[in-house]
Amino acid sequence: MRKWIYIVGLFLCVLGGLIAGRMLNKPQQDQAHRVLYYVDPMHPSYKSSKPGIAPDCGMDLVPVYADSAANSIASNNLPGSEIASAVQQLYGIRLAKAETQAQHQSLRLFGRVSPEDTRVFRVDFGADGYVKETHDDAVGTHVMKDQHLASVYSPDFLAVAGGYLAANERTPGAPNNAKDNATAGTGPQNSASVLARADRLRNLGMSDTQIDEMTQNKKLPEDVYIVSPVDGFILTRTISPGMRVERQTVLYSVGDLSKVWIEAEVFGRDSQSIHPGTSVSVTFPDSNQAVHASIVGILPDVDPVTHAFKVRLEAENPGFKLRPGMFVNVDLPVSLPAGISVPADAVLDSGLEKRVFVQTSDNHFEPRMVETGWQVGDRVQIVNGLKDGDMVVSSGTFLVDSESRLHSDARQPGSAAMPHSNDAMEHRMN
């Protein structure tokens, strides 16, 4: 009987100890898992003592627990962040290798066609008069050299034209062509007089064609013919029938478009790869037609808004397919020296510093400051900060940077850590 009383008493003592131990341990567990505060998952510097909505992005505030904060601090002694493989796949985080390679590719620029300054000719009138008629002189019309464009009456020509005819008749054996009069050995004084009067007629606005015509028929012209100086297109026109013209009035500008300029914008990092004389391909945006052009040089002025340089190209224009004002695509071949390069999306540029995220282990990423060099297409050179073969985050860099900042905030002295990165990212998705 005493033996059973002893056994029952021992069992009750053990049971009481277990109950007492659980009662004493429960407050400690509740205390360890209590909420310290709530944070904005996108901006961890924002903290709140109660749950709610983040004021800037509208996301739910994330609770920070005492036990998770302690575990996070213990597991994040290394810089950077740790992201599980499943979370990386979920958020589209991709890696790329930093490789040493020379760049041989094409740089796509957008260019605009313009006439060459040296092939644009101004047609003006050097006397007072009025326009009697015009002929096929609309802007954009293709005209030929010496084509008759307009007729202008001006009494200022009569005296000079009369003096030219008189001097031409006094020259023995005077040839029909006014230019030949100046070089013929028949009376130097008379020849000089003929040349001087012919130059005065040209200065007033009479063409060589009309001077030769007047020399042949020996008659004073009633009107002065305005003719095209070259084969080309009429670019501007300020004349109309019945209009009064004043001395030095510009009537037309005619452009020879057999060769044209193409001006394209490049930025400072790309201008170092441009060299005069380089052959480039120019294509039309709405077709597969292509023409060849060569780089003339980089213009000295810079766009005050975009800070871009202008590179000028010269192109042959058979069939006049390139018209002033037309936009075209310019494919510029680029060859740069070998160097370590990564995808351009891998580099985060804050304006003060540039950094990439390097994979140091399977799920751990470390921020690293870098210096960049040339950028061609989607590749950027890393001058300092990486070595050949380093694996960097090339897609989803912003998300990795966000997680790194969360952990960085957690490691600040006197502050509790953020929730584990994988939990926080999944909470943001939900």
Q: What is the pLDDT of residue 13?
A: 60
Tell me the per-residue pLDDT of 157-212, one tens digit each, with 9 for 90 and over. 888 888 888 888 876 544 445 445 444 444 556 678 788 888 888 888 898 889 98
Provide the b/e sequence for 171-186 (b: ≥16 CB within 10 Å).
beebeeebeebeebee
Burial of 141 (0-12, 13-18, 19+ CB in 10 A): middle
Do residues 115 and 257 touch, judged by C-beta distance below 8 A?
yes
Question: Rounded distance, CA 191 to CA 154, Å?
Answer: 26
CA 282 and chain centroid, separation? 16
Strand partners, 422: none
What topology does CATH give the domain 106-116+257-335?
A: Elongation Factor Tu (Ef-tu); domain 3 (2.40.30)
Q: What are the residues facing 243 on neighbouring strands?
A: none
Residue 127 carries which side chain, given as an amino acid letter? Answer: A
> CATH for 123-255, among 2.10.70.10, 2.40.50.100, 2.60.40.10, 1.10.1060.10?
2.40.50.100
Distance (Å, whole) CA 406 – CA 76: 11
Q: Which two tokens stand for residue 208?
A: 């060589």
Secondary structure tally for the chain: helices H, strands E:
10, 25
| CATH of 75-102+338-429 given 3.90.1260.10, 2.60.40.10, 3.40.1160.10, 2.40.420.20 | 2.40.420.20
Query: What pLDDT score was predicted for residue 151?
Result: 93
How far CA 62 is from CA of 47, 74, 403, in Å, comes to: 9, 20, 14
Amino acid letter, 294: S
The DSSP 8-state label assigned to residue 85 in this structure reads H
Segment 27-84, tens digit of pLDDT: 444 444 567 677 776 666 677 777 888 776 677 877 876 655 444 433 444 455 677 7
* Three state DSSP letters for 94-112: EEEECEEEEEEEEEEEEEE
CA distance 72 to 407: 8
Q: Per-residue pLDDT tens for 204-263?
A: 889 888 998 888 888 888 899 999 999 999 999 999 999 999 988 899 999 999 999 999
**What pLDDT, in 10s, does the model give residues 302-320?**
888 888 888 999 999 988 9
Compute how many other C-beta atoms are within 10 angstroms of the C-beta atom of residue 60.
15
Q: How many CB atoms lie within 10 A of CB 296?
A: 16
Give this prediction's pTM: 0.55
5 pLDDT higher than 90:
no
CA 118 to chain CA centroid, nearest Å: 27
User: What average pLDDT does range 124-133 have in this prediction?
Assistant: 91
Give how far Cα 56 sits from Cα of 222, 400, 407, Å. Answer: 82, 20, 21
Question: Average pLDDT, whole number, for the chain?
Answer: 78
User: Percentage of the chain surpassing pLDDT 70?
Assistant: 71
The secondary structure element, H or E, covering residue 293 is: strand 290-302
Residue 7 has pLDDT above 60, yes or no: yes
Burial 91-105 (b: 16+ CB within 10 A, else e): bebebbebeeeebee
Q: Provide the 10 A C-beta neighbour count for residue 150.
A: 25
Mention every residue, 6+ apart, whose C-beta is less than 8 A from residue 337: 102
